[in-house]
Amino acid sequence: MDSPQRYIETFFLVKNTLSWDSKRVCRAGPRPQPYVIQWKQQDQDSEPSSPRFSIQKANWSEFDEALKSMEIDKMLMLAEEVDQKIEIVLGKLLEAAEKTIPKNKHNLKGQKSTPWWNEDCEEAKKELKKRRHEYDRIPTLDRYIKVKQAHARFRKKVKDAKRHSWHTFVENLDFRESSTKVYRFIKCMNTRNQAREDNPPIVVNGEILVDNIDKANAGAEYLKNVIGRQDPSKNDYNRTIWKVKKVSQKKRMEDYNRPFTEREVNEVVKNLPNTTPGDDLIYPEFVKRLPEIWMKELLKIINKAWKSEYFPKIWKKRDSDYDTKTRKRLRED
């Protein structure tokens, strides 16, 4: 049976949720349905995050030896379920990392040490979170404007607080102060939090779209008109796309239900981006350095889940939204 080309992702590197992979190339079948996936970062003041490994200080030679010394194949033979096998792989990876890689210093409160933070900044932050929560529940243009206004007020409060803190610090300086204290304070003043990715409205044919589904459908309609059903004889048609399409159609299609191969798994692991890990603390660098016996066992786990049509529980982890007062689920995307 001819089918779309397959693309796999190592299961224990999924950060918070399993999303549709943009690298999947559809060779046949109907047009895929569009989806809008919005990532939500965990608030700093909700729960303290775990300290992470310092990859720059890792002793990779000892890490490799620790993995090779573990008889991972014998351990996995004792487990029957896919979830149990995954937990063993994760646990042994972290065990090797704990022995060979130091962790970063961590603030137990889960907050950055900022000398300029005050009550005005805290109130402005709460107001901004409130407006964002309202917009996430019911995305309208009016609520989006309120979010932008609250964000502007929050930035102004932070800017004023930094200016006041800096002036106070400079006024109290004298020749007896150590240079280390001065540089440390300047470093704290220059800390910048990663900006939140907003989901602003878009204008299509004079119509303002605020709903995620409407935006996705508009994008899909645009792509369909550009590369979906155009006549190849037209001058404005992308000739490169047409040539690639002709070549790909001549290639032999792969069977959809056949097991994954060692080459496929190695190719995916090789191309993993070096990003920060999720709650499991598994770095892509860990997976790229797996010994051959580990890669073979990993392939067995993936094919076992594939053949049994079982979706491992660890893939189902994601963030949920709750009302802080009623504790009721507001949305489950």
The per-residue pLDDT for range 276-289, each reduced to its tens digit, is 887 778 888 888 88
Among the candidates 128, 162, 189, a domain finishes at 189
Position 123 scores a pLDDT of 92
CB distance 100 to 62 below 8 Å: yes
- Domain boundary (163, 189, 215) is at 189
> Is 299 found in the same domain as 217?
yes
Residues 81 and 212 in one domain: yes
Is the domain of 167 the same as that of 265?
A: no
Mark whether 83 and 123 lie in a shared domain. Answer: no
pLDDT beyond 60 at 58: yes
Closest CA to 13 of 259, 298, 293: 298
The answer to the question of residue 282 being in a domain is: yes
pLDDT of residue 242: 66
Task: For residue 67, tell me if it sits in a domain.
Answer: yes
Angstrom distance (rounded) from CA 293 to CA 67: 10
Q: What's the whole-model pTM score?
A: 0.44
Q: Are residues 295 and 234 in the same domain?
A: yes
* 222 and 98 within one domain: yes
Range of the domain at 180: 119-189
**Residue 100: inside a domain:** yes
Quote the pLDDT of residue 125. Answer: 93
pLDDT recorded at residue 36: 40
| Residue 145 and residue 81 share a domain | no
Is there a single domain that holds both residue 162 and residue 218? no
Domain stops at, among 189, 213, 234: 189
Quick check: is 216 in a domain? yes
- Contacts for 266-271: CB closer than 8 Å, 24+ residues apart: 266/295, 268/7, 268/8, 268/9, 268/10, 269/10, 269/295
Residue 314 CA to residue 280 CA, distance in Å, equals: 10
| 97: in domain | yes
| pLDDT one-digit tens code per residue, 110-163 | 455 577 888 899 999 999 999 999 999 888 999 999 999 999 999 999 999 988
User: Is residue 179 located within the same domain as residue 314?
Assistant: no
Across 314-323, b (16+ Cβ under 10 Å) vs e yields bbeeeeeeee
Does any domain span residue 195?
no
Gap between the Cα atoms of 93 and 87, Å rounded = 10
pLDDT in tens, 285-326: 888 889 999 999 999 998 998 888 887 877 665 444 444 444
Buried b (16+ CB within 10 A) or exposed e, 97-128: beebbeeeeeeeeeeeebebbeebbeebbebb
Residues 223-236, mean pLDDT to the nearest whole number: 59
Residue 103's pLDDT is what? 84
| Distance (Å, whole) CA 333 – CA 331 | 6
Residue 68 lies in a domain: yes
Is the pLDDT at 171 greater than 50? The verdict is: yes
Residues 128 and 87 in one domain: no
Say how many domains are in the chain: 2
pLDDT digits (tens, 9 = 90+) for 231-258: 555 555 556 666 666 666 666 656 667 8
Same domain? For 234 and 313 the reply is yes
